[in-house]
Amino acid sequence: MEIRHLRLIKAIVEEGSITKAIDKLHLTQSALSHQLKEAEYQLGTKIFLRINKKLILTKAGEKLYATANEILDKLSDTEKEIKQLIFGEVGEIRISTECYSSYHWLPSVLKQFHLLYPNIELKIVMEATHYPLQKLQENILDIAIISDPIKDENIKYVELFQDEMMMVVSENHPWAGKKFVVAEDFINEHLLIHSLPLETVTVYQFLLEPAKVSPKKITPLPLTEASIEMVKADMGIMAMAKWALQPYLKNNSIKAIKIGKNGLKRKHYIAYMSNKTYPDYFQHFIEFLQAEINQQWII
């Protein structure tokens, strides 16, 4: 028996049909049938029986399938170990944030890490953006970058950086001359947000909701550039991290206003499960992320 025969049997069983196994193994139907006949000839018995148009493992097939799983798993583990010996650690880290503005700096940091650890795959899980801690608990994420921690003894938080949220208005807006704004100032305003739900919007969560204030209109607009253009046209206002806002303040068509007398500041944290065992490269990534933020990205 050859490894290709074991992969063939495993694929047929797990894919549920020869047609799906063909797609997975990238074989033609004739090549697959030929390999299956080869395997059965070498064993001296049938591996599958066709019953009601379905392929069912024989007793010998069941034994062979169990052996195939053991051998292929062992082979995969051995390949990983050899790659680690030659190229360093191999693995993946699934990461997401609770704030879309973080995606401005995150890809660049991940790219730098990949240069140092080319065999560590870093996956940004965009669909977990609004609920990163929940997805962390569900093992869909390995790391969540958040600014609103919850109490959970199984989640460890590592402080990453602090930033300040600012309101962005047009140069002609009544707020343009203000030093800061308070919740009541929003009553007659059109607030542009990146996305729903409102509970994930910082200015709503920490300013408007505690004061029981609702803006006149709220519009989700996921594109930052489109929101900026609407603000320039005096068609709305938006909240944005001060550091992310800097490139847009180079002309005088928009103004940045402090939120509250003391400003609306947020601390960002790296969150991960404390009750899990992680490979060495996981801690290396956290240390690298902290160092990169402190050296290059602190606002």
Query: What whole-number distance in Å separates Cα of residue 61 and Cα of residue 39?
Result: 10
How crowded is the C-beta side of 70, counted as CA atoms within 13 Å? 6
The three-state secondary structure class of 210 is coil
- What pLDDT is recorded for position 249? 87
Q: How confident is the model at residue 10 (pLDDT cuts 50, 70, 90)?
A: very high
Chain mean pLDDT for the chain: 89
Question: Does 233 have pLDDT greater than 90?
Answer: yes
Among 4-8, 115-119, 234-238, 257-261, the range scoring the smallest mean pLDDT is 115-119
Question: Does 65 have pLDDT greater than 80?
Answer: yes
- What pLDDT is recorded for position 19? 83
Q: Are 281 and 91 in contact, with CB atoms under 8 Å apart?
A: yes
If you average pLDDT over residues 153-177, what whole number do you get? Answer: 95
Q: In Å, what is the CA distance from 183 to each residue of 163, 211, 239?
A: 20, 7, 13
* Cis peptide leading into residue 197 (ω within 30°): yes
Q: Compute φ and ψ for 265, nearest 5 degrees.
A: -105, 150
Following DSSP, what letter does each residue of 225-240 receive, concatenated?
HHHHHHHHTTS-EEEE
Instruction: Please give the helix or strand (H or E) that residue 36 lies within, else none.
Output: helix 29-43
- What pLDDT is recorded for position 254? 95
CA-nearest of 186, 181, 194 to 262 is: 181
- What pLDDT is recorded for position 299? 44
Residue 289, burial from CB neighbour count under 10 angstroms (0-12, 13-18, 19+): buried
- What pLDDT is recorded for position 168? 97
Instruction: Please give the helix or strand (H or E) that residue 125 lies within, else none.
Output: none
| pLDDT tens digits, one per residue of 155-165 | 999 998 888 99
| pLDDT tens digits, one per residue of 94-133 | 999 886 656 667 777 888 888 878 888 889 898 888 789 9
Question: Does 46 have pLDDT greater than 70?
Answer: yes
The end-to-end CA distance of the chain, in Å, is: 62
- What pLDDT is recorded for position 298? 45
Q: How confident is the model at residue 211 (pLDDT cuts 50, 70, 90)?
A: very high
Output 71 or 106, whichever has higher pLDDT. 71
Instruction: Please give the helix or strand (H or E) that residue 157 lies within, else none.
Output: strand 155-170
Query: What whole-number distance in Å separates Cα of residue 264 and Cα of residue 186?
Result: 15
Question: Does 197 have pLDDT greater than 70?
Answer: yes
Contacts of 47 (CB under 8 A, 6+ apart): 9, 36, 39, 40, 57, 58, 60, 61, 64
Question: Does 4 have pLDDT greater than 80?
Answer: yes
| pLDDT tens digits, one per residue of 238-260 | 999 888 888 888 877 999 999 99
- What pLDDT is recorded for position 107? 76
If you average pLDDT over residues 66-74, what whole number do you get? Answer: 94
How is residue 181 written in tokens?
């704004």
Q: How confident is the model at residue 86 (pLDDT cuts 50, 70, 90)?
A: low
Instruction: Please give the helix or strand (H or E) that residue 112 lies within, else none.
Output: helix 106-116
